[in-house]
Amino acid sequence: MNTDNRPVVAVLAVLLLASTRVSAASTEAVAPRSAAMVAAPAVRVLLDDALALHRRGETESALARYREAASLGDANAQFNAAVIRLSGDSESLPLSEALVLLRRSAEQGYPPAEYALATALENGLWMPRNLSTANDWYERAAGHGHAQAQLAIGLAFYLGRGRQYDPVSAARWLERAAASDEVTAQYMVASMYESGTGVARDLRQALDWYAAAARGGDIAAREKAREVAERIAAEQAAEQPAQ
């Protein structure tokens, strides 16, 4: 088991920053049967306090508020409390409790927690490595609209990594991630349309996705877009009747 959390700290830190922008209403929508619904106003107050404290750098006080909201069953709070510990911002929360909170949040269907748990399982961080179970969690998060999870499970199907090779499923998930501006997914989808892997060959779709990836900063995609545009023009010219 890898006990060095450095490879995933950046991922978790980003997830923490993103999740703190989730409103209490959004959290309730994710976990409508959670205990947080019983005391929703109290949970909203705790989350607002925790966010304000965290932004001021008062990590321990923020963690205390998140733990209190987590005890009421709030998935957002469970996730944030776990991430504060796992990212190394605080060690006052026992690691074992942080992992329990992360799993509880994921089990409520909270996408950032599902993705973080999958990342930990894939890399063997704080728990035994289990690629198959990691992909289960990636797929759950992907189904809940998490773009990075859609990319991860799409690549798993494309590479046959912890999933049976399935280019059709790969294309389906990668295209959903691409639609959320995941540049790697945009390039992958473009190449699949170009080659007809998992989808019907379609150079115009390939061109559109290479162009999208290029706009997102992928330098190789810029050249590929030029090449595909030239191929489309050549195929169109070849279809013209001779004068």
Integer-rounded Cα radius of gyration of the chain: 22
Using CB atoms within 10 Å of the CB of residue 91, give its burial: 0 to 12 exposed, 13 to 18 middle, 19+ buried. exposed
Q: What pLDDT score was predicted for residue 18?
A: 44
Task: Determine contact, residues 151/184, Cβ cutoff 8 Å.
Answer: yes
* Residue 81 DSSP SS3: helix
CB 52 within 8 A of CB 88: no
Other CB atoms within a 10 A radius of the CB of residue 134 amount to 23
Q: What's the pTM? A: 0.79
Residue 227 to residues 79, 111, 132, 194, 231: CA-CA distances in angstroms? 45, 38, 38, 11, 6
Which among 75, 70, 109, 114 has a CA at the least distance from the CA of 93?
Answer: 70
pLDDT for 243: 56
Residue of 41, 47, 44, 38 whose CA lies nearest to 19: 47
pLDDT tens for the chain, residues 1 to 243: 443 444 444 445 444 444 433 323 333 333 333 444 445 788 889 988 888 988 998 989 999 999 999 998 899 999 999 999 898 888 888 999 999 999 999 999 999 999 999 999 998 889 999 999 999 999 999 999 999 999 999 999 999 999 999 999 999 999 999 999 999 999 999 999 999 999 999 999 999 999 999 999 999 999 999 999 999 998 888 877 655
Longest dimension (CA), the chain: 81
φ, ψ dihedrals at 208, nearest 5°? -60, -45
Q: Which of 85, 111, 107, 56 is CA-nearest to residue 66?
A: 85
pLDDT at 29: 32
pLDDT for position 89: 86
